[in-house]
């Protein structure tokens, strides 16, 4: 869009349009480079790679192995969280879509009141641009010292009691580490599967941007909590108070 605007500026001999278009185009290019680095991908791979085309779907492999998802209710999830001392929230695009960041913080505050230590694990490409989750959580007044980037938080997962995944998908998919046929193979991820329990808050089992199923959902320590992210956070906070 920016480069098109700049080209139009040259055609119309409009210097302001040339400048603004160039700034827009260059900023978009810089963001693209940052996203590529965070995904461990080259620009060529992102532009021409076959995202969404995979030979072996993790979910299909899990089904073949006789695995299925384990669904949990609001009350059951609240009971688990209410007796937990170490919790990491992992936000994703689903949180942004439902505008659930304020409700996430309110749930975290309720858990702090019960003595839980709270952290947030942030992946650089979660959302639609670098820093998207940081901006949303800052808007919700989440303390900055509770935000951890991927390299920092991954070392905490083995000692974490519960991870609450709020609308994140590809950035927590273990297939990125072990399924060579996967289009996200090689992308650094948040290793949430190493925690004792993982509660995934998600509308459905629909795939993320990469177009593949998430094998995390079929792990023995994963509990699926279906529903809108904002509504789910509100219900969990309410259940904790009862």
Q: What is the tally of structural domains in the chain?
A: 2
Residues whose CB falls within 8 Å of the CB of residue 207, separated by 6 or more in sequence, listed in order: 169, 213, 214
Across residues 150-169, what is the average pLDDT? Answer: 96
DSSP reduced 3-state for 173 = coil
In a domain? residue 53: no
Same domain, yes or no: 64 and 42: no
Same domain, yes or no: 38 and 97: no
Rounded CA-CA distance 53/234 in Å is 37
Closest CA to 79 of 230, 223, 227: 223
Catalytic residue numbers, as ranges: 170
In a domain? residue 147: yes
- Give the DSSP letter string of 78-90: HHHHHT-SEEEEE
Rounded CA-CA distance 186/175 in Å is 9
Closest CA to 209 of 96, 104, 106: 96
Same domain, yes or no: 62 and 19: no
**pLDDT one-digit tens code per residue, 96-146:** 999 999 999 999 999 999 999 999 999 988 887 788 999 999 999 999 999
In a domain? residue 42: yes
pLDDT of residue 87: 98
Same domain, yes or no: 30 and 119: no
pLDDT greater than 70 at residue 43? no
**pLDDT one-digit tens code per residue, 14-30:** 878 788 877 777 766 66
In a domain? residue 20: yes
pLDDT of residue 110: 96
Same domain, yes or no: 38 and 68: no
Rounded CA-CA distance 100/166 in Å is 9
Same domain, yes or no: 95 and 181: yes
Domain holding 17, by residue range, is 2-48
Same domain, yes or no: 27 and 117: no
Residues whose CB falls within 8 Å of the CB of residue 14, separated by 6 or more in sequence, listed in order: 8
**pLDDT one-digit tens code per residue, 128-139:** 778 899 999 999
The sign of the CA dihedral 175, 206, 96, 108 is: negative
pLDDT greater than 90 at residue 197? yes
In a domain? residue 110: yes
**pLDDT one-digit tens code per residue, 44-60:** 655 555 444 444 455 54
pLDDT greater than 70 at residue 33? no
> What's the pTM value of the predicted model, to 2 decimals?
0.78
């Amino acid at each position: 869009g920016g480069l098109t605007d700049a080209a139009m500026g040259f055609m119309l001999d409009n210097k302001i349009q040339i400048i603004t278009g160039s700034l827009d185009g260059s900023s978009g290019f810089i963001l693209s480079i940052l996203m590529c680095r965070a995904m461990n991908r080259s620009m060529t791979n992102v532009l021409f790679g076959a995202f969404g085309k995979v030979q072996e779907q993790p979910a299909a492999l899990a089904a073949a192995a006789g695995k299925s998802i384990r669904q949990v209710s609001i009350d059951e999830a609240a009971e688990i969280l209410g007796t937990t001392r170490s919790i990491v929230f992992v936000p994703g695009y689903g949180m942004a879509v439902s505008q659930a960041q304020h409700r996430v913080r309110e749930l975290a505050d309720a858990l702090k009141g019960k003595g839980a230590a709270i952290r947030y694990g942030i992946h650089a490409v979660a959302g639609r641009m670098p820093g998207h989750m940081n901006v949303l959580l800052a808007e919700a007044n989440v303390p900055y010292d509770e935000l951890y980037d991927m390299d920092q938080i991954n070392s905490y997962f083995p000692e974490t009691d519960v991870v609450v995944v709020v609308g994140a998908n590809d950035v927590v998919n273990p297939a990125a580490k072990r399924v060579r046929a996967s289009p996200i193979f090689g992308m650094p991820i948040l290793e949430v599967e190493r925690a004792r329990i993982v509660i995934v808050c998600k509308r459905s089992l629909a795939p993320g941007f990469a177009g593949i199923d998430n094998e995390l959902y079929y792990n023995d320590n994963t509990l699926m909590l279906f529903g809108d992210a904002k509504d789910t956070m509100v219900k969990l906070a309410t259940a904790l108070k009862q």
